[in-house]
Chains A and B, each alone.
Chain A
Amino acid sequence: MDIKFSAEDLAFRDEVRDFFAREYDSAIVAKLGSSAGTDYKEGIVAWQKKLYAKGWIAPGWPKEYGGTGWSTTQKFIYETERGLAGIPDVVPFGLKMVAPVIYTFGSEEQKARFLPRILESEDWWCQGYSEPGAGSDLAALNTSADYAGDNYIVNGRKIWTTFAQYADWIFCLVRTSKGMRKQEGISFLLIDMKTPGITVKPIVTIDGKHSLNEVLFEDVKVPTENLIGEQDKGWTYAKALLAHERTGMAEVADSTRMLDSLKLRARVEVNGGKAMIEDPIFQMRLSDIEMELMALEYTELRVFASMAAGGMPGPESSLLKIKGTEISQAIHELQLQLASYYGGALPDNLDADELGHNFAFEARGKYMYGRAATIYGGSNEVQRNVIAKAVLGL
């Protein structure tokens, strides 16, 4: 057993590190760190355009559509370096969610129309899956699309739509037929957000911020050419996409970086004049997390090693999402514990430095929004159902 990389892979790692160090500059960092929403959009788009120019925007895509042609090892190295550098992932809805559906199940015309603009970050996409009555039970969705000659007429409500306020396009699961098994009769539609009849309503989350939305559809006309694949087969496409998504959800590198910064912070924050990191109980809480992360790092490596060897990921891959999110939440919790009373202050008319604990706003925000990690992408309870069935055979 070993975790050695080849000389070529190490050279690649250096190239990635070097690129990140050079190109992820302070202008982008400032925009991404800003609490104003449009700054975030400008910052991430600027970063994605740099990745596009470098040819690294879509490592997961097949090379013929604009992918990098990297080996599994190179993709793994790239993701690890990204996380360790504290660089946010690309906005997934276009690049990682709808694009694989388009290049796998879409028509040639759809590929030509949508893929280049996704690669160039010209179109911002959002995901129209969840509905008020369809969360973990996604197939219970109710938004209807009635076939009417050249168009579908869409009516219904989508909810928890991240960044719909910036989106040019939304990909939706809609109901085109009724009266059969609920997974059947669902279709996959691409909808232009500028179409009349679409309303985006903001949802402010418990971190006080606006990234989620409700999207209402009232007699929205969608050209039939925007249907992916066959009518009523949308569930199959969406499921294939979920399998595509499943690996790489442990975010070990991101958690490693967060934990490192938490440890540094715990040397500065004091109680009774003594650094928090010297407190034996705090140390126990810290090592509870650190040890779990050390193990998860190797769980991720095990999954990656079997994929790199050309095999399918083993049963251990199924725990990546659950453990990964539990760990990141635990880090957020400890970060907030460190922020203590100061962490309750809101930034409306208060400067972080003035507070004396300049990480406190972020600690509160990350903790509050971080609660979502065990809810989205298939709640951790649903993930447990999946493992019970697929791995334990229950």
Chain B
Amino acid sequence: MNFDFTEEQIMIKDSVSRFVRDEYDFDTRRKIVESEEGISREYWSMFAELGWLSVPFAEEYGGFGGTVEDIAAVMEELGKGIVVEPYASTVVVFGGLLSASDNSALKAELIPSVIDGSCMGSLASTEAQSRYEMTDVATTATACDGGFKINGTKTVVANGGTADKFIVTARHSGGQFDRAGINLFLVDASAPGVEVKSYKMMDGQRAATVTFNDVLVNESQLLNTAGEGMDLIDQVMPQILMGLSAEALGIMSTLNSTTVEYTKVRQQFDTPISSFQVLQHRMVDNFMACEQTKSMLYRALCQAGEDDSAALLKTVHALKATVARYGKLIGEEAIQIHGGIGMTDELNIGHYVKRLMMINVSFGDGDFHQKKFNQLSYSA
């Protein structure tokens, strides 16, 4: 039994942590967020050089051959700096789906370009009506000469504005809510008929509405066995949820330590407010919330290394629900205990909180996952 990161993992964790500390202070981040593209391509190239973009990919494609534990190690440290560069959407989500695909020609072509930083990608799955239900796909892929034509609109596509490629969920057959009949296509952002409208999100990241008008794709761009795209998504989802949860954990621990330090220097009634028992107990509750979240993440990481996918699935639902609950607690407490200054845009606290809020609603909020957990646990 052990819960330590390996030496390799510690090295990469340290490398991300050093970057956040030395190069990614809050002012730097603010300038990036306010820039034209909302990300720093210079830093993205640096991530590539440092090998961070290669972490989850197989060695045969030039990757590091890492596991979800390695992803979690990186994501937790990125969370501590609320880094806005599209690591989650490109490497964890887009890269994860690509890795899990059987389309080896596509993988051989694309994975090296993700690793070297020249290709950013994003999953275009959410539609205006679909909320968290991945199977709710109204976008269509209609068979035509030489392949399929994609028609439909995807909304709030993470980092859609900077993505070079999309993985698009499109329905080939069945009704709007059917699990079967969904295909995942790789589509170039510059392909004829693709229209991208980018906008800012409250957490400093960008998203886009991506419209597909008779976009022509062929079999070679298909990631999954025809009609079984949901299997591919389900296969990768635990990894996505663990990655985002690790990012959330990094944010939660940062909020907690920042808040504790603040109470030690903030004086009211002629004494540091850290001396007030009511605040002490609340900060202890926040500390416990963070430790419990970490334990749940570790539970998921341990189970990911075993062969019990049913147990893992239950745990990742519980993990995402826990992140939602305790993320909300810690975020709201951080603002409250900071007082008026916690309300300001100038202070970093609110920005950490907003990223937690967006993680909460990414790929299902707490209630969504708790209901899934209940179905798996209590239904006959």
> Using a CB–CB distance below 8 Å, which chain A residues touch chain B?
1-5, 73, 263, 267, 277-278, 280, 283-284, 286-287, 290-292, 294-299, 301-302, 304-306, 308-309, 315-316, 319, 322-323, 381, 384-385, 387-388, 391-394
Contact = CB atoms under 8 A, between A and B. Distances in A.
B296 A298 contact: yes
Nearest to B5: A1
Contacts of B294: 316
A388 B299 CA distance: 26
Nearest to A277: B378
B292 A387 contact: no
B313 interface: no
Interface in B280-308: 280-281, 283-285, 287-288, 291-296, 298-299, 301-302, 305-306
A192 B378 CA distance: 53
Given A1-B3, A284-B370, A291-B322, 16 more contacts: A1-B298, A278-B378, A286-B374, A291-B318, A298-B296, A298-B298, A298-B299, A302-B3, A316-B291, A319-B287, A319-B288, A319-B292, A323-B292, A381-B281, A384-B281, A391-B287
A321 to B, nearest CB: 11
B260 interface: yes
A287 B377 contact: yes
Contacts of B280: 384-385, 388, 392, 394
A393 B280 CA distance: 10
The range of chain B's interface size is 35 or more
B258 to A, nearest CB: 12
A3 B1 contact: yes
A385 B283 CA distance: 11
B292 A295 contact: yes
Given A2-B302, A294-B318, A305-B2, A387 B374 contact: no
A35 B377 CA distance: 34
Contacts of A277: 378
A394 B284 CA distance: 10
Contacts of B370: 284, 287, 291
Contacts of B277: 385, 388
B275 interface: yes
Interface string B343-380: 00000000000000000000000000010011001111
A392 B3 contact: no
Nearest to A298: B295
Contacts of B274: 394
Nearest to A263: B378
A392 B288 CA distance: 11
B267 to A, nearest CB: 14
A306 B294 CA distance: 15
Nearest to B326: A295
B378 A388 contact: no
B315 interface: yes
Contacts of B5: 1
B69 interface: yes
B315 A392 contact: no
Most A C-beta atoms less than 10 A away, residue of B260, B315, B374:
B374
Q: Which 3 A-B pairs have the closest CB atoms?
A: A298-B295, A388-B280, A295-B292
B305 A299 contact: no
B283 A291 contact: no
A346 B296 CA distance: 40
Interface in B294-334: 294-296, 298-299, 301-302, 305-306, 315, 318, 321-322
